[in-house]
Homo-oligomer: A and B are copies of this chain.
Amino acid sequence: METRELRYFVAVAEELHFGRAAQRLGIAQPPLSRAIGGLERRLGTLLLERGSRGVALTEAGAVLLREARAALDAVEAAERRTRRAALAATGRPAVVLAAKAGASGELLAKLLDAYAAEPGAVAVAVDVVLCGPGEQTRLLHDGRADVALLHRPFDDTAGFDTEDLHREGQVAILPAGHPLSARPHVRLAEVTDLPDLPLPRWPRPDGTFPDGPGPQVRDHTQLTQLIALGRACAVVPESGRTGLREDLTAVPVSDAPTSPRSSPGPHTAAQQRSRGWSAPPLPCRRPPPKYGRGRRSH
């Protein structure tokens, strides 16, 4: 299978319409039909159900869509990482770290300081990419980033080589005047079902939102603003209280599970071990005890 065919198929599977998919791909519709037809013939199965009105994915088509996306990400990552390796050979080598904008600011700063102080790290710059929530995994998969700061259990670390950097309690973020905001601490159950302050809904990776009573939010700014307006509350890692607006209050959640951050690298350990650069791929290889919780065993 050629990547061209995979790209074509993904376009049709996403548009569910040959004409629009062809337009998106910048080609005419007939070659697209032929390409999909050829793919189906070689795989020996129907990928798309052609109804009189539009197109639908078959079972096999749904599988191919998921797998093709992963494969295309891998190809894209290959290209990007090779390009960066080429830059690193002639210019300054760099590691790209993805972090959610607005979160983990303090940790990030200390992490970068600690890495700059590392022996052997002098030659490697750490480029920080700030992105929206949940985007980190995408960046890792398609090669735009090499490592990322994730927050369990909010972010999904499955499929990555991870290392716990820091474990912290959680706090509830409430409007300044709220009755609970005067309390020294609250229990999780007390804030998860406040009828007047529902928990917000974050977008899924595909951009849609789960059902529920809470408002839809896409980033940290929207979140804080909604809480300040008295329309929502939130439970976030302790570090989220730094740099809080003055009209918001953070109250420790006594019974919330501690939330370790993770710093995952590319998706196989072999990549980690054999990265061709002259400096360690993970920032904070021997991290200060304050943040590090030891290396993996392998």
Contacts and interface: CB of A to CB of B under 8 A. Distances in A.
B161 A82 contact: no
A102 interface: no
Interface secondary structure of A, over-half rule: helix
A67 B43 contact: no
A270 B205 contact: yes
A13 B16 CA distance: 39
Given A156-B298, A159-B268, A77 B83 contact: no
A271 B205 CA distance: 12
Given A75-B1, A276-B62, A67 B82 contact: yes
Contacts of A28: none
Contacts of A276: 59-60, 62-63, 66
A82 B45 contact: yes
Contacts of A161: 158-159
Contacts of A153: 297-298
A71 interface: yes
Interface string A1-22: 1111010000000000000000
Given A45-B86, A58-B89, A159-B269, 10 more contacts: A44-B83, A45-B82, A60-B276, A63-B82, A66-B271, A66-B274, A71-B71, A71-B75, A158-B160, A158-B298
Interface of A: 1-4, 6, 43-45, 47, 58-60, 62-64, 66-68, 70-71, 73-75, 77-79, 81-83, 85-86, 88-89, 137, 141, 143, 153, 156, 158-161, 205, 266-272, 274-277, 296-298
